[in-house]
């Protein structure tokens, strides 16, 4: 279930996780019964919701295996718009003959159903603790029709390092050795990615010395497939603000936010009078948000009013609070300042000059205004181009995209989140252990392991995309970099 759809369907997906293990482990059955049950349901199954009227972009594929007692395994692969987004393990479940039941104690939900005659479907209901139920059906799939479940169909043993293909998108390529990287260490890291030790990674790219030296894709992704970058969108918007300032459309980060929206003058308060673009860029606007207000924002047709209506709780500039809706005001600011919506402005002054491939930025648009908090979809190669701007002072192939002054200012430490991690203008900052000391990194960070890391001291960019949304492994790429990428630099 996509976390952008109804919460109940998300719960259903988690519950299905439990169902698999029920099917495999055999609750209260003998070892022989468990083995027979495991063999009977082993394979791939697709979930459907017969009672639902609205089509969903999500698809749930269950993988059951358990020919031997004690060796059962199960998981649900969640696909969104045809590509795998995450994988959830299944646990604590059982089956008695053809009658299936499970409970997911953490949510108080149960499933009851039956393996139908012929063994090609399982029908039943999800039962909710608060009352109500949801009809569900699992239909057996032909394994040959299931794609994108494994990181690499051939497994880790067949992997060999190869220099990326040089295309017409502007990237020069090199082998790992030519780029000064230990290819044996990098190969070992990729093998571990394929084996799933860093969760679900969809791509891994390394740029060293301005050349693309590693480009690997997993789960049926490839170099031409744009990938949702989630909150990395915010860092791209930081670049757009800098370009608008360079062009003179914006006077600077000290400009007051309300000056761009005179039609909302009725909302003017002493607190709002103090909120500037800099406060939006540094997550220090001080606006009062709560879960109910965020829900109202998500359902509002006007992208500006729900934000401008929030009271100012803290003195602007004094407290870091990561609130995505605040960033969407920058979409309105760019529209008023440049005469173009953020997506068109980006296409003209960022994406096209840098030779980007397919870009999508339409999800969640309201009144033509793209959301600036996390709805951009880019090719990983183009994510790497964004990172390269931080190493070249804002240039691509010798052409100025954004000023060096903006790169320096926007990636400087402007504030810090309560845990101490530093923050610039919609860019995160951190130091990493390296060669007995430390190395600086500036990075864009999007939910699910979407990362653009720039390491200026090492003239390196690292990009990952992934589906680590619900497994606690969002930051697994940081560990990958620490364990294999940094040690590989000669």
> Each residue of 98-156: pLDDT tens digit?
777 666 554 566 778 888 888 899 898 877 888 888 888 888 998 877 888 888 877 76
Q: Mind listing the pLDDT tens digit for each residue in 408-426?
A: 999 999 999 988 899 999 9
- Whether 451 and 430 have beta carbons less than 8 Å apart is answered as no
pLDDT of residue 29: 44
pLDDT of residue 19: 40
| Whole-number percent of the chain with pLDDT over 70 | 85
Within 8 A by CB and 6+ apart from 132, the residues are none
pLDDT of residue 66: 54
| Whole-number percent of the chain with pLDDT over 90 | 62
DSSP assignment of 291-309 equals HHHHHHHHH-S-SSHHHHT
pLDDT band at residue 347 using 50, 70 and 90 as cut-offs: very high
pTM above 0.85, yes or no: no
Rounded to whole angstroms, what are the CA distances from 401 to 239, 240, 381? 9, 10, 17
- Best CATH choice for the domain 151-490 from the list 3.40.50.10070, 3.40.50.150, 3.40.710.10, 2.60.120.200: 3.40.710.10
Distance of CA 460 to the CA centre of its chain: 22
Rounded mean pLDDT, 213-237: 95
Q: Which of 452, 426, 443 is nearest to 238 (CA)?
A: 426
- The least confident of 47-61, 65-79, 383-397 is 65-79
Mean pLDDT of the chain: 86
Q: Kindly report the number of other CB atoms within 10 A of residue 375's CB atom.
A: 20
Q: Mind listing the pLDDT tens digit for each residue in 170-223?
A: 999 999 999 999 999 999 999 999 999 999 999 999 999 999 999 999 998 999
Q: Which of 28, 100, 32, 29 is nearest to 64 (CA)?
A: 100
**121-127 β-sheet, strand order:** 83-89, 73-80, 58-65, 43-48, 133-141, 121-127, 109-115, 99-104, 94-96
Class of domain 7-145: mainly beta
- Tell whether the model's pLDDT for residue 229 goes beyond 90: yes
pLDDT of residue 95: 65
Of residues 10 and 172, more confidently modeled: 172
Cα-only R_g, the chain: 25
pLDDT band at residue 20 using 50, 70 and 90 as cut-offs: very low
- Tell whether the model's pLDDT for residue 67 goes beyond 80: no
The residue behind tokens 């017969």 is 50
pLDDT of residue 156: 65
pLDDT of residue 74: 63
pLDDT of residue 147: 80
- Tell whether the model's pLDDT for residue 401 goes beyond 80: yes
Strand pairing class (201-208; 415-416): unpaired
Tokens of 173: 């390529």
Highest mean pLDDT among 91-105, 144-158, 372-386: 372-386
Of residues 135 and 385, more confidently modeled: 385
pLDDT of residue 101: 67
Task: Please give the sequence-ordered ranges of beta strands (E in DSSP) within 73-162, or none if there are none.
Answer: 73-80, 83-89, 94-96, 99-104, 109-115, 121-127, 133-141
Helix, strand, coil percent content, the chain, rounded in steps of 5: 30, 25, 45
- The least confident of 54-58, 248-252, 327-331 is 54-58
- Tell whether the model's pLDDT for residue 430 goes beyond 90: yes
- Tell whether the model's pLDDT for residue 159 goes beyond 90: no
Give the residue extent of every domain in the chain.
7-145, 151-490
Of residues 435 and 100, more confidently modeled: 435
Q: Which of 401, 406, 404 is nearest to 354 (CA)?
A: 401
Residue 444 is inside which H or E element, if any? Answer: strand 437-446
pLDDT band at residue 390 using 50, 70 and 90 as cut-offs: very high
Within 8 A by CB and 6+ apart from 417, the residues are 283, 320, 322, 423
Within 8 A by CB and 6+ apart from 60, the residues are 1, 13, 16, 46, 47, 76, 77, 78, 79
- Whether 21 and 102 have beta carbons less than 8 Å apart is answered as yes
Tokens of 122: 């399982």
Q: Which of 463, 457, 427 is nearest to 442 (CA)?
A: 427
């Amino acid at each position: 279930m996509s976390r952008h759809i109804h919460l109940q369907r998300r719960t259903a997906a988690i519950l299905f996780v439990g169902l698999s293990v029920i099917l495999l482990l055999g609750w209260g059955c003998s070892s022989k019964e468990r083995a027979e049950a495991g063999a009977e349901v082993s394979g791939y199954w697709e979930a459907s919701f017969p009672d639902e009227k609205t089509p969903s972009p999500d698809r749930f594929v269950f993988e059951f295996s358990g020919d031997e007692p004690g060796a059962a395994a199960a998981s649900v692969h969640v696909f969104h718009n045809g590509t795998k987004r995450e994988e959830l393990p299944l646990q604590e479940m059982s089956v008695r003959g053809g009658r299936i039941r499970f409970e997911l104690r953490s949510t108080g939900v149960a499933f009851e159903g039956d393996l139908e005659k012929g063994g090609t479907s399982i029908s039943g209901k999800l039962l909710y603790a608060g009352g109500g139920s949801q009809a569900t059906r699992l239909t057996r799939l032909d394994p040959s029709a299931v794609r994108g479940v494994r990181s690499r169909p051939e497994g880790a043993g067949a992997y060999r390092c190869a220099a990326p293909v040089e295309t017409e998108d502007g990237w020069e390529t090199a082998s790992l050795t030519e780029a000064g990287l230990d290819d044996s260490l990098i190969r070992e890291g990729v093998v571990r990615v394929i084996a799933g030790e860093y969760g679900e990674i969809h791509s891994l790219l390394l740029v060293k010395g301005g050349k693309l030296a590693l480009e690997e894709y997993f789960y049926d992704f490839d170099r031409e497939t744009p990938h949702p970058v989630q909150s990395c969108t915010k860092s791209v918007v930081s670049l757009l603000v800098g370009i608008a300032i360079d062009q003179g459309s914006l006077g600077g980060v000290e400009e007051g936010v309300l000056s761009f929206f005179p039609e909302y003058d009725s909302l003017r308060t002493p607190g709002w009078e103090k909120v500037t673009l800099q406060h939006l860029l540094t997550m220090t606007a001080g606006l009062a948000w709560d879960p109910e207000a965020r829900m109202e924002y998500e359902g509002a047709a006007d992208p500006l009013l729900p934000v401008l209506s929030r009271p100012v709780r803290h003195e602007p500039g004094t407290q870091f609070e990561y609130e995505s809706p605040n960033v969407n005001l920058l979409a309105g600011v760019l529209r008023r300042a440049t005469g173009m919506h953020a997506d068109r402005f980006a296409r003209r002054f960022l994406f096209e000059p840098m030779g980007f491939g397919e870009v999508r930025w339409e999800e969640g648009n309201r009144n033509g205004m793209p959301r600036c908090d996390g709805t951009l979809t880019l090719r990983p190669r183009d994510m790497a181009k964004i990172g390269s701007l931080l190493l070249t002072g804002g240039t691509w192939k010798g052409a100025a995209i954004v000023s060096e002054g903006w790169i320096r200012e926007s990636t400087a430490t402007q504030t810090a989140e309560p845990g101490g991690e530093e923050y610039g203008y919609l860019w995160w900052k951190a130091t990493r252990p390296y060669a007995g000391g430390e190395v600086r990194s500036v990075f864009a960070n999007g939910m699910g392991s979407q990362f653009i890391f720039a390491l200026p001291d090492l003239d390196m960019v690292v990009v990952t995309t992934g589906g680590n949304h619900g497994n606690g492994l969002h930051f697994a790429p940081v560990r990958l970099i620490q364990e294999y990428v940094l040690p590989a630099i000669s």
